[in-house]
């Protein structure tokens, strides 16, 4: 067996393994004190020799978790993910992980350390979804640490996570949707709300729409980009969320007519301002042609309209869910809805709207019964 077992005291052993030479030719050793029997020390030595044979570095790295996260975000995450996703990962680590574990050497972080952090977050009242998502991202980071030979195992692997409680989706009924649109008719953003409900676009998608994305002759809308809101009031166009997010959606005659009316008003405003109007070709722009923020639409227009109509408070994003729910309730195929919403797989669609499927199954049974009776 490679390595040495050196007895220090009763039930105390020094495990020493030769790991090479430094730049000056001086021999380097991995040293670890084991408190226990000689059998315990031999078991540890065997495990370390196995790691060494597999090419895994057995020398504890001095890099801290903070230092590793900086390296991981810069060298891995930003190279493989969208900017918004990378920013979300960085924010999540900053808010929940760095203060507690950041100063620790990454090689010294145990499953117990991570488990205590998740328990603390739960005790503070953070939702199971937040705890589980933070664990997913940190686990992803530690996986990269293993690939870079900073670690031999993932401390997040065996953590016990709080049970995910699925919240009931907040959505308007068909009658409430009609009431909302009737109330919104006098709002300057009526066209935006109608389009959001009919197409199921994400807010970042409909706020990034350009007039060239709408084919009035064929009555089709194409999703080509999203709007990324940056710090200090800046904006940037970004790629759609997934490959399936690039999609074409047929438009109703009602929506086409409303879009034409909306465009006429916008052109009148553009002619009024002349060179002061910003030419981004946006479908939904402010009085000077600039971008709208989701917060502006939500706080100044959407929420007041819901209150005026006496409707429950929902998110702007929930208009997307309203689109899917209305279609599912009317018997439209989940596959068609998946393509309309731009979900990467039908399993996502079925999971999100599973609460509607039981009633669809009942309707299907009734329809089958009627058909068989006719026979």
What pLDDT digit, counting tens, does each position of 226-251 carry? 998 887 788 889 888 788 899 999 99
Model confidence, pTM: 0.69
Residue-level pLDDT at 165: 74
How many Cβ atoms from other residues are within 10 Å of residue 348's Cβ?
A: 14
Residue-level pLDDT at 25: 82
* Arithmetic mean of pLDDT, 342-358: 80
Kindly give the pairing relationship between strand 12-21 and strand 27-35.
Answer: antiparallel
Instruction: Report the share of the chain in percent with pLDDT over 90.
Output: 57
pLDDT tens for residues 79-133?
A: 888 888 898 999 999 999 999 999 999 988 999 999 999 999 999 999 999 999 9
Please state which of the ranges 183-197, 211-225, 232-246 shows the lowest mean pLDDT: 232-246
Residue-level pLDDT at 374: 67
Residue-level pLDDT at 168: 65
């Amino acid at each position: 067996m490679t390595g040495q077992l050196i007895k220090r005291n009763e039930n105390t052993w020094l495990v020493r393994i030769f790991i090479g030479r430094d730049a000056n030719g001086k021999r380097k050793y991995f040293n670890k004190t084991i408190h226990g029997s000689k059998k315990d020390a031999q078991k540890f030595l065997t495990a370390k020799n196995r790691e060494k044979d597999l090419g895994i570095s057995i020398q504890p790295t001095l890099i801290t978790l903070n230092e590793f996260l900086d390296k991981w975000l810069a060298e891995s995450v930003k190279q493989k993910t969208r900017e918004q996703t990378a920013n979300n990962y960085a924010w999540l680590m900053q808010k929940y992980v760095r203060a507690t574990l950041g100063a620790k050497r990454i090689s010294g972080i145990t499953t117990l350390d991570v488990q205590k952090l998740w328990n603390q977050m739960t005790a503070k009242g953070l939702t199971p979804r937040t705890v589980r998502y933070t664990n997913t991202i940190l686990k992803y980071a530690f996986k990269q640490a293993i690939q870079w030979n900073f670690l031999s195992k993932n401390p997040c692997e065996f953590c016990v996570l709080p049970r995910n409680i699925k919240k009931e989706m907040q959505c308007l009924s068909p009658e409430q949707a009609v009431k909302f649109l009737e109330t919104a008719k006098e709002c300057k953003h009526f066209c935006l709300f109608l389009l959001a409900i009919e197409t199921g676009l994400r807010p970042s998608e409909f706020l990034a729409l350009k007039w060239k994305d709408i084919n009035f002759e064929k009555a089709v809308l194409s999703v080509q980009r999203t709007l990324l809101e940056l710090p200090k009031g800046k904006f940037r166009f970004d790629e759609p969320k997934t490959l399936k997010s690039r999609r074409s959606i047929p438009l109703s005659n009602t929506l086409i007519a409303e879009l034409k009316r909306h465009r006429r008003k916008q052109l009148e405003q553009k002619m009024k301002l002349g060179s002061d109007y910003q030419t981004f070709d946006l479908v939904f722009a402010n009085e000077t042609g600039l971008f709208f923020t989701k917060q502006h639409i939500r706080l100044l227009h959407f929420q007041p309209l819901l209150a005026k109509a006496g409707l429950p408070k929902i998110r702007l994003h929930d208009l997307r869910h309203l689109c899917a729910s209305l279609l599912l309730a009317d018997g439209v195929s989940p596959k068609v809805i998946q393509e309309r919403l731009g979900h990467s797989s039908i399993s996502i669609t079925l999971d999100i709207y599973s609460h509607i499927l039981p009633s669809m199954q009942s309707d299907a049974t009734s329809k089958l019964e009627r058909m068989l009776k006719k026979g």
